[in-house]
Chain A
Amino acid sequence: MKIVVCVKQIPDPASPYQLDPESYFVVRPNDQVLDDTDRYGVEVALQLSDELGEDASVTLLSMSPGGSQQGIRQALAMGADGAILIEDETLRGADALTTSQILAAAATRAEADLLIAGTESTDGYTGVVPQQVAEIMGVPALTFARKVEHVDGKLRIERQTQAGYDVVEGALPAVLSVTSGVVEPRYPTFKGIMQAKSKPVETLTAADLGVTAKVSQKIVSVEEVEGRQAGDIIEDDGEGYLRIIEKLEEVKVV
């Protein structure tokens, strides 16, 4: 089984993000890290691959300025076999649909039996890419998985819902999106880190995939988020709890 995992390189969340003053795009440094939410997808892929043995392979798929490829190497060090990097200046500022077209074309080209992604990226948060990719590829979308099993050539997942979970089954090929917490991502090992540098990373452009990038969105302005307001201090005069309950009802948590 050929498993392809979408991974995104993002600027280190521990350092403050910069916006380009003209395009308002996030300025991407040379060293970007693996989006933390993608580690779950990589782990699910590696576990499935371990289960299936030699017949399975795990390939990473990323559309981003490659830079030092630090984030991709991180995922390779966890144990993925190789990576496909789509690096193309015309894709700068690509919207979710363009991104999905590219990823779908690359996954098809790689003959993926299963495409795995996180539910959304930590820097963009559109949360629509996995479903769009499935639609474009014309394959089932098994989304928001909190548990994944491979049974009789099919995938069976527990799909996280607001109230609990649904059990969903789908035939392969398919697209699978996984929530954070579906599995415990492994640490890369020392050997994994050393081997990552010699694993193949294939670099492609939009043209290689036969996709013409149409950037249909433009950020016209950005505004600072209002700073957090100081909280209310309720002094307990014996009935302070009533006012706390009132507050909780106001914000609808009880």
Chain B
Amino acid sequence: MTFQLNAEHEALRAMVREFADREIVPNAAQWDRDHHFPVDVVHKMGDLGLLGAAFDEEYGGGGGDFLSVCIAIEEIGRADQSMGITLEAAVGLGINPIANFGTSEQKARWLPDLFAGRTLAAFGLTEPGGGSDAAGATRTRAVLDGDEWVINGSKSFITNSGTEITSVITVTAITGDEEISAIIVPAGTPGLIVEPAYEKLGWHASDTHGLVFDDCRVPAENLLGERGRGFHQFLATLDDGRIAVGALSVGLIQACLDLALEYSLEREAFGRPIAANQGLAFQLADLDVALEAARLLTYKAAALKDAGLPIKQAAARAKLYASEAAVSATRVLTQVLGGYGFMEEGPAARFYRDAKILEIGEGTSEILRLVISRGLGLPVV
């Protein structure tokens, strides 16, 4: 066991890092201030092959592994969490359900443009009445009327659902007694109402909307995969997504450590660099350990997925640990930078605001502890 990435993974990391340093880092603060979603970054990520990296070459994917996607998300997330979640959601929530459960017609219709970054897909699961209890709280209904599904209900916090290039939203809905199915709704379908963008604490350059379905009609063949498999489909989708959010968190921890190291060696107090103080240096040592642990948990979960092995526990561990470590990392970074860390002129304040959601989206820390507890065989309710 060598814990070495292969040459292609390292080459991918170098490529994505250079792209992010040149095209995202110089603009991230401005996009954040303006709440601007830079659609050209999605096009460019598509050109680089990041969106389709792990998917079938038949539809224009890269034929690579899931670990590659995680490395790309980590490196984009190191530059900017908004663009990191844009990539993560585009792949993990947008493309993944269609690629995994779609019919060949559905794949052929949607995937080539999604892989190329010409369009984005979103996944509508969470509702106003419940996020963690997605199955029990689902109120959105789809009724088959002749050869059309008629959808009524609403969805909350849906990433990439209202961009100018959003082409399609996969929505979970009740389709019968104790039956949840996923249905593909093309953007622009009458009765699909995309609400104004949320005012969020962080992720300002990421696109998030509430959705309303008001007698929204789509053809019967827009059912994703099998009827009644919606619950199973979104659980599988979320397991993958948790590993990817782990990677997004790893990128943030790395960014915090890099910046904290640089600043603490330059900044002097009492005639010496502040890094010479054990009270500070030891915090950075802890940050280094947290980064390594978060990265290993995430890569291991990704490697298990690539090997076709069960990932539920590993994905939950990776996301739980990495996201909580990322929140801590932003707190340490802000403290190291002192007053500057509280100012919006540097990236630390943005990182601080962006971190908290990592402990919430795609499985709260509480749900992840529940998953892990149950995996241990505990009769926890």
Known contacts: A68-B7, A70-B7, A73-B7. The answer to whether A193 contacts B12 by CB under 8 A is yes
Contact across chains for B8 and A189 when beta carbons are under 8 A apart: no
Q: Which residues of A contact B15 (CB under 8 A)?
A: 77, 187-190, 193
Specify which chain A residues have a CB less than 8 angstroms from the CB of B50 in the assembled complex. Answer: 190
Task: Let me know if A190 and B62 touch, CB within 8 A.
Answer: yes
Which one of A187, A192, A196 contacts B18 once the chains associate, using CB atoms below 8 Å?
A: A187
Interface mask (B1-31 → A, CB under 8 Å = 1, otherwise 0): 0000001101110110011000000000000
Does B163 sit at the interface, judged by CB under 8 A?
no
Q: Which of A73, A74, A187, A193 has the most CB of B within 10 A?
A: A193
Asked if A228 is at the interface of the complex by the 8 Å CB criterion, the answer is no
Query: Is B49 an interface position by the 8 A CB rule?
Result: yes
Chain A to chain B: the 5 pairs with minimum beta-carbon distance, closest first: A190-B49, A189-B49, A190-B62, A190-B53, A193-B11
CB-nearest residue of chain A to B9: A193
B197 on interface, CB distance cutoff 8 Å: no
Please tell me if B176 contacts chain A, counting CB pairs below 8 Å.
no
Closest to B48 in A: A189
Contact call A197/B19, Cβ cutoff below 8 A: no
Cα A39 to Cα B64 in complex, Å, equals: 25
Contacts of B72 in A (CB 8 A): 190
The answer to whether A190 touches B12, judged by C-beta atoms less than 8 angstroms apart, is yes
Binding site for A on B (CB under 8 A): 7-8, 10-12, 14-15, 18-19, 47-50, 52-53, 62-64, 68, 72
Cβ-based interface call for A19 (8 A): no
A187 adjacent to B19 (CB under 8 Å): yes
A194 touches B47 (CB 8 A): no
Query: CB < 8 Å: which of B10, B47, B63, B68 contacts A189?
Result: B47
Chain B hits for A109, CB < 8 A: none
B53 neighbours in A (Cβ, 8 Å): 190
A252 interface contact, C-beta 8 A: no
Contact flags (1/0) for A177-220 with B, using CB distance below 8 Å?
00000000001111111101100000000000000000000000
Asked if B47 and A196 sit within 8 Å, CB to CB, the answer is: no
Provide the residues of chain A in CB contact with B47, threshold 8 Å. Answer: 189
Known: A187-B18, A190-B64. A196 touches B11 (CB 8 A): yes
Known interface pairs A187-B19, A190-B68. Does A77 touch B11 (Cβ–Cβ under 8 Å)?
yes
Query: Which residue of B has the minimal Cβ distance to A33?
Result: B14
| Bound-state Cα–Cα, A188 to B47, Å | 10
Residues of B within 8 A of A187 (CB): 15, 18-19, 48
Q: A194–B8 contact, CB under 8 A?
A: yes
Supplied contacts A74-B14, A193-B8, 16 more A-B pairs, CB within 8 Å? A70-B7, A70-B10, A73-B7, A77-B11, A77-B15, A187-B18, A187-B48, A188-B11, A189-B49, A190-B48, A193-B12, A193-B15, A194-B62, A194-B63, A196-B8, A197-B8
Q: Are B48 and A197 interface neighbours, CB within 8 A?
A: no
Please list the residues of chain A having a beta carbon within 8 angstroms of any beta carbon in chain B: 68, 70, 73-74, 77, 187-194, 196-197
Instruction: Chain A residues near B48: list those with CB within 8 A.
Output: 187, 189-190
Smallest Cβ distance from A39 to chain B, in angstroms?
11
Tell me, in angstroms, the Cα distance from A196 to B11 when the chains sit together: 10
Task: Give the distance in Å from the alpha carbon of A194 to the alpha carbon of B7 in the complex.
Answer: 10
Partner of B49, one of A70, A191, A196: A191
The 8 Å CB contact of B62, one of A74, A191, A196, is: A191
Of the A-B pairs whose beta carbons lie under 8 Å apart in the complex, a sample of 6, sorted by A's number, is A68-B7, A189-B15, A189-B47, A190-B12, A190-B48, A196-B11
CA distance A68 to B10 in the complex (A): 12
Q: What is the bound-complex CA distance between A197 and B64, given in angstroms?
A: 13
Per the bound structure, the CA–CA distance linking A197 and B63 in Å amounts to 14
Q: Which residues from A are CB-within-8-Å of B14? A: 74
Q: In whole Å, how far is B298's beta carbon from the nearest beta carbon of chain A?
A: 19
Contact partners of A188 in chain B: CB under 8 A: 11, 15
Contacts of A196 in B (CB 8 A): 8, 11
A70's closest neighbor in chain B, by CB? B7
Cα of A189 to Cα of B64 in the assembled complex, Å: 12
Measured CB to CB, the nearest residue on chain A to B57 is A191
A194 cross-chain contacts in B, Cβ below 8 A = 8, 62-64
* A77 to B49 CA separation, bound complex (whole angstroms): 12
B22: min CB distance to chain A, Å: 9
Bound Cα distance A74, B12 (Å): 10
CB distance from B67 to the nearest CB of A (A): 12
- Complex formed: what's the CA distance from A70 to B6 in Å? 11
In the bound assembly, the distance between CA atoms of A192 and B72 in angstroms comes to 15
Chain A residues with CB under 8 A of B7: 68, 70, 73, 197
A70 CA / B47 CA spacing, docked (Å): 23
Contact of A74 among B11, B63, B64, B68 (CB under 8 A): B11
Q: How far is the CA of A190 from the CA of B7 in the complex (A)?
A: 13
Question: Which chain A positions have C-beta within 8 A of B8?
Answer: 193-194, 196-197
Q: How far is the CA of A73 from the CA of B14 in the complex (A)?
A: 12
Select from chain A the residue with minimum beta-carbon distance to B68. A190
Cα(A194)–Cα(B57), bound, Å: 12
| Chain A residue, CB-CB nearest to B72 | A190
**What's the minimum C-beta distance from B37 to chain A, rounded to whole angstroms?**
22
State the CA gap A194–B49 with chains docked (Å).
Answer: 11
> What's the least CB distance linking A80 to chain B, in Å?
14
A197 vs B8: C-alpha distance when bound (angstroms): 8
Q: Kindly report which residue of chain A lies nearest to residue B12, judged by CB atoms.
A: A193
Complex contacts, A189 vs chain B, CB 8 Å: 15, 47-49
**Nearest Cβ on chain A to B262's Cβ, whole angstroms:** 14
Q: How far is the CB of A102 from chain B (nearest CB, A)?
A: 26
Shortest distance between the CB of B25 and any CB in chain A (Å):
15
* Cα A188 to Cα B62 with chains together (Å): 13
Chain B residues within 8 Å of A73, by CB: 7, 11
Which residues of the other chain, B, contact A192 by a CB distance below 8 angstroms? 49
